[in-house]
Amino acid sequence: MKIFLISDNNDTLLGMRFAGIEGVIVHDKNTAIEKIIEITADKDCGVILITSKLKNQCNDFLSDFMEKNPIPLFQEIPDRHGEQREGSSILEFIEHSIGLKLGNTGKDNKNMSKDEKDTELT
């Protein structure tokens, strides 16, 4: 499955392209909605990353869309100027969704209990 980015910021798009993620730049709600519809027509797209500003502009549309379409998964990301909120990383979102720890999420292994170490997958 593919990951795709919808961003309002060139720097965010450039950074994601370095990671192998394709995307588009849009600057308004209507264009963002058009791109979401266009991208989701490709059934290979499993995750759409969307910057916070665009997600907020399209929130009503996205709520309705996600209610009717379980795939793709939409993940809000901050742009380089945005604040990183606790629990907003993709890894943390997936861990919460499936109920497993997939890697070191910032905890120091020395301070983890034996049970935490045993359940953490690396």
Please write the tens of the pLDDT for every residue from 26-80.
999 999 999 999 998 988 888 999 998 899 899 999 999 998 988 898 988 886 6
91, pLDDT greater than 70: no
Q: How many residues does the chain have?
A: 122
Burial of 64 (0-12, 13-18, 19+ CB in 10 A): exposed
122, pLDDT greater than 50: no
| Fold exhibited by the domain 2-82 | Rossmann fold (3.40.50)
- Burial letters 41-54, b for 16+ CB under 10 A, else e: eeeebebbbbbbbb
Structure tokens at 116: 């935490």
Mean pLDDT of 15-21: 87
Where in the chain are the domains? 2-82, 86-122
113, pLDDT greater than 80: no
